[in-house]
Amino acid sequence: MDPTVLRDDMVDSLEHEAKAVVSSEHVSVAMREVPREPFVDDESAAYADRSFERFGTRVLSPSAAGRLLEALDVQPDHDVLVVGSGVGYTAAVIAEIVGEASVHAIDITRRLVYDARSNLASAGYPGVLVDCRDGARGLPDYAPYDRILLEAAAANPPRALLDQLADEGRLVMPLGVGAQELVAVDADGGEPVAEFGTVAFQPMLVEGEQADTIERNRTRREDREHARRAAERRKGWEQTWINWDDQL
């Protein structure tokens, strides 16, 4: 079937459910334009309302992406930062609304950065900037941003992201480490100014926790220390010979 028809059917279902996920014209039009095939491995099910796994990250279902985008309330004149770009789908939808040059995306996992760049180019949005950065530090090079979307859960809004918001800016994120609430936070106090229901996202990663690193949950200093100890550790025939006759 024609992908355009499939996209229209997908968005129609998100608009006409008992609890409509998509309600704004900007999001509706953008999701009807952006192809999903470049962002998923199973092209035959690209428009089904379910999530996918790719390179250790979750490709959001259309309804989950729609919820984030509606909460973000992006307008055509906004500059936007996506933290946790993943495969790049939400960045593509935002680029359809504000233009490629106004969308910046970062991810801490280098493999996902390369994948997002490739996917965005295939989908027709090569101008979206995707860089490998620690999400908690944001991307101050192009701040301030009118909107920041954090696609990972955190116990508190990262201070650096709040500092990178414009005066009337909004940060949208899953807040909480167990039970999570999708919230919008402004730049002033960092307190939620709007809530959009419960969600379930993976926690934001810090350096050393990427899925494609050699070992998780280590800092660079710890890696160096483990390597030094391994080099100094003697094994097998390298151990000092014990003269048992002298020990008896």
Q: If 0-12 CB within 10 Å is exposed, 13-18 middle and 19+ buried, where does residue 235 land?
A: exposed
Q: Which two tokens stand for residue 20?
A: 């409509």
Say how far apart CA 146 and CA 138 lie, in whole Å.
Answer: 14
Nearest to 103 by CA among 70, 136, 127: 127
| Strand-by-strand arrangement of the 129-132 sheet | 129-132, 103-107, 80-83, 145-150, 165-175, 180-186, 192-199
Clarify whether 61 is annotated catalytic.
yes
Say how far apart CA 136 and CA 143 lie, in whole Å.
Answer: 14
Active-site choice (13, 24, 61, 63): 61
Nearest to 62 by CA among 104, 6, 1, 2: 6
CA 149 to chain centre: 8
Question: Percentages helix, strand, coil for the chain, rounded to the nearest 5?
Answer: 40, 20, 40
Say how far apart CA 86 and CA 92 lie, in whole Å.
Answer: 11
Location of structure tokens 């910046």: 104
Q: Where are the beta strands (DSSP E) in the chain?
A: 52-54, 57-59, 80-83, 103-107, 129-132, 145-150, 165-175, 180-186, 192-199
Catalytic center residues: 61
